[in-house]
């Protein structure tokens, strides 16, 4: 059982956590110009196969509507199609029905 801490300590820990999160967010903004990193930046920091697939789909679709375009990608003969992000449970029929808008 974890040691009991007082209510004041919990509030203090919470405030420290929030301050750290805010500092990390500001560091990302300073480094990337945005609080969120792109899939390409995520891949470049610590490359893995999954991150490489995400980065490839990102470079294929661009920033605008990236998630929807990737989820409903209609390039079925792409070797990455089955492995693209945001695609769990999405069928080819659903992709064919998707219209950007
Ligand atoms: S699965 Fe679609 S979005 Fe991803 S790389 Fe292939 S063609 Fe591009």
Ligand 1 atom with the smallest distance to the CA of 70 is: 3
| pLDDT at residue 13, rounded to an integer | 93
Please report the sign of the dihedral spanned by the C-alpha atoms of residue 29, residue 35, residue 40, residue 44: positive
pTM above 0.85, yes or no: no
| pLDDT at residue 3, rounded to an integer | 79
Query: What is the Å distance from ligand 1's center to 44 Cα?
Result: 19
Q: How far apart are the first and last CA of the chain?
A: 53
What are the domain boundaries of the chain?
A: 1-36
Q: Are 43 and 51 in contact (CB under 8 A)?
A: yes
| pLDDT at residue 101, rounded to an integer | 64
Print pLDDT tens along the chain (101 aa).
777 899 999 999 999 999 999 998 898 888 778 888 899 999 999 999 999 999 999 999 988 888 999 999 999 999 999 999 999 999 999 999 998 76
Query: What is the Å distance from ligand 1's center to 13 Cα?
Result: 43
């Amino acid at each position: 059982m974890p040691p009991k801490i007082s209510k004041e300590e919990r509030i203090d820990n919470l405030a420290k956590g929030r301050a750290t999160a805010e500092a990390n967010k500001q560091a990302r903004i300073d480094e990337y110009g945005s609080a969120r990193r792109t899939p390409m930046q995520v891949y470049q920091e610590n490359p893995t196969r999954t991150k490489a697939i995400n980065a490839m789909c990102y470079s294929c679709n661009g920033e605008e509507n990236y998630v929807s375009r990737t989820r409903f990608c209609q390039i079925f003969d792409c070797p990455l199609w089955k492995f693209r992000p945001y695609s769990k449970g999405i069928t080819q029929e659903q992709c064919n029905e998707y219209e950007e808008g």
